[in-house]
Chain A
Amino acid sequence: MAFSPSLFRKNSKISALKGMVQMNEKTLAAKTKTFLMFAGPAVFVFIAVLIVPLIYGVYLTFTSWDGISNNKPFVGLNNYIEVFKDKEFWNSLVLTLKYVAVSVVFINLIAFILAFFVTSGIKGQNFLRAGFFTPNLIGGVVLGFIWRFVFARALVSFGTAFDIDIFSTSWLSDPQKAFWAMIIVTTWQYSGYMMLIYIAGLMGVPKDLTEAASIDGATGFQATRHVVLPMMVPSFVICLFLSITRCFMVYDLNLSLTEGGPFAATRMVAMHVYKKAFEAKQYGTGQAEALILFIIVAIIGITQITLGKRKEVEA
Chain B
Amino acid sequence: MKKQVIGGNKARAFLIFKMFFLIVLLLAYMVPFFLILINSFKRKSTVIKEPLVLIDPKGITLENFINAFKQMNYPLAFLNSLIISVISVTFIIIFAAMAAYVFVRTKWAASKFFFALMIASMVVPFQVLMIPLVSIYGSSLGMLNSKSSLIFFYLGFGMNLAVFMYHGFIKSSVPISLEEAAKLDGCTKFQTFFLVVLPLLKSITSTMIVLDVLWIWNDFLLPSLVLGKKELYTLPLSTYSFYGTYSNDLGKIMAGLVMTVLPVIALYLFLQKHIISGIVSGAVKS
Contacts and interface: CB of A to CB of B under 8 A. Distances in A.
Interface of A: 2-3, 6-12, 14-15, 18, 20-23, 31, 34-35, 37-39, 41-43, 45-46, 48-54, 56-57, 60, 65, 67-68, 70, 114, 117-118, 120-123, 126, 128-142, 145-147, 149-150, 153-154, 157-158, 161, 188, 192-193, 196-197, 199-200, 238, 242, 245, 248-249, 251-252, 255-256, 270, 273-274, 277-278, 283, 286-287, 290-291, 293-294, 297-298, 301
Which 7 pairs show the lowest CB-CB distances between chains A and B?
A: A49-B156, A139-B218, A42-B99, A38-B102, A57-B132, A53-B132, A39-B99
B6 interface: no
A147 B31 CA distance: 10
B222 to A, nearest CB: 10
A248 B128 CA distance: 13
B131 A188 contact: no
A196 B276 contact: yes
A134 B139 contact: no
B184 to A, nearest CB: 10
A200 B283 CA distance: 10
A46 to B, nearest CB: 5
A137 B95 contact: no
Given A21-B179, A42-B98, A57-B128, A7 B52 contact: no
Nearest to B234: A139
Contacts of A197: 280, 283-284
B159 A7 contact: no
Interface residues of B, number: 100
| A12, A35, A277: residue with the most chain B Cβ atoms closer than 10 Å | A35
Contacts of B243: 145, 256
B23 to A, nearest CB: 8
Interface of B: 15, 18-19, 21-22, 25-26, 29-33, 35-36, 39, 47-48, 50-52, 91, 95-96, 98-99, 101-103, 105-114, 117-118, 121, 123-136, 139, 152-153, 155-157, 159-160, 163, 176, 179-180, 183, 189-190, 192-193, 214, 217-221, 225, 236, 239-240, 243, 250, 253-254, 257, 260-261, 264-265, 268, 272-273, 275-276, 279-280, 283-284
Contact of A135 (B29, B99, B221): B29
A139 B111 contact: no
B131 A287 contact: yes
Given A122-B15, A196-B283, A297 B261 contact: no
Contacts of A133: 276, 279
Contacts, number: 290
Grouping DSSP codes into helix (H, G, I), strand (E, B) and loop, the B interface class, with mixed when no group exceeds half, is helix
B180 to A, nearest CB: 5
A49 B157 contact: yes
A283 B29 contact: no
A306 B144 CA distance: 41
Nearest to A248: B125
Contact of A34 (B18, B31, B102, B225): B102
Given A42-B163, A145-B253, A145-B257, A50 B32 contact: no
Contacts of A251: 127, 220-221
Given A34-B189, A146-B33, A238 B283 contact: yes
A188 to B, nearest CB: 7
A278 B32 CA distance: 33
Contacts of A3: 110
B94 to A, nearest CB: 8
Contact of A54 (B111, B132, B257): B132
A54 B129 contact: yes
B21 A117 contact: yes
A291 B130 CA distance: 11
Given A137-B265, A138-B261, A46 B118 contact: yes
Contacts of A41: 91, 95, 98-99
Contact of A22 (B99, B183, B239, B250): B183
B26 A141 contact: no
Nearest to B114: A43
A134 B220 contact: no
Given A137-B218, A138-B261, A149-B39, 10 more contacts: A8-B109, A21-B179, A34-B189, A45-B152, A65-B135, A123-B19, A149-B35, A154-B35, A157-B51, A273-B127
A45 B135 contact: no
Contact of B32 (A23, A117, A147, A157): A147
